[in-house]
Chain A
Amino acid sequence: MKQWDLFIAFFRVGMLGYGGGPSSIPLVHKEVVGKYRWLSDDDFSDILALANTLPGPINTKMAGYIGYRVGGYTGMMNAILASTIPTIILMIVLLTTLTSFKDQAWVQGMTKAVLPVVGVLLAVLTWDFLSKSQKGLGWPIAIFLILASFLFIEILGIHPGIVIALLLAAAVLKKDKPKPEKGGTQS
Chain B
Amino acid sequence: MIYWEIFLAFFIPGILGYGGGPASIPLVENEVVHRYGWLSVSEFSEVLALGNALPGPIATKMAGYIGYEQAGILGAAVGVFATVAPSLILMIALMSLLYKFRDSPKVKRMSNYVRPTIALLLGVMAFRFFAESYEASGTIQTVFLIIASYLLLEKWKVHPAYVIVGALTYGAILL
**Interfacial residues, chain A to chain B (CB-CB below 8 A):** 14-22, 24, 46, 49-61, 64-65, 68, 76, 80, 83-84, 86-88, 90-92, 94-95, 98, 106-126, 129-130, 132-133, 136-137, 142-143, 145-146, 149-150, 153-154, 159-161, 163-165, 167-168, 170-172, 174, 176-177
The verdict on A123 contacting B126 (CB below 8 Å), with A65-B92, A95-B47 known, is yes
A55–B50 touching, CB < 8 Å: no
The interface residues of chain A lying within 8 Å CB-to-CB of B118 are 129
A120–B146 touching, CB < 8 Å: yes
Select which of B105, B161, B168 is within 8 A of A113 by beta carbon: B168
Main secondary structure, interface of B, reads helix
The verdict on A57 contacting B87 (CB below 8 Å), with A116-B149, A119-B133 known, is yes
Q: List the B residue with the shortest CB-CB distance to A80.
A: B84
Interface residues contributed by chain B, number (CB under 8 Å): 102
The verdict on A55 contacting B164 (CB below 8 Å), with A21-B57, A83-B57, A149-B120 known, is no
* Shortest Cβ distance from residue A153 to the other chain B in the assembled complex, whole angstroms: 7
With the chains together, A187 CA to B66 CA distance in Å?
Answer: 58
Q: List the A residue with the shortest CB-CB distance to B15.
A: A55
A57–B116 touching, CB < 8 Å: no
The verdict on A119 contacting B88 (CB below 8 Å), with A58-B21, A91-B61 known, is no
A168–B110 touching, CB < 8 Å: yes
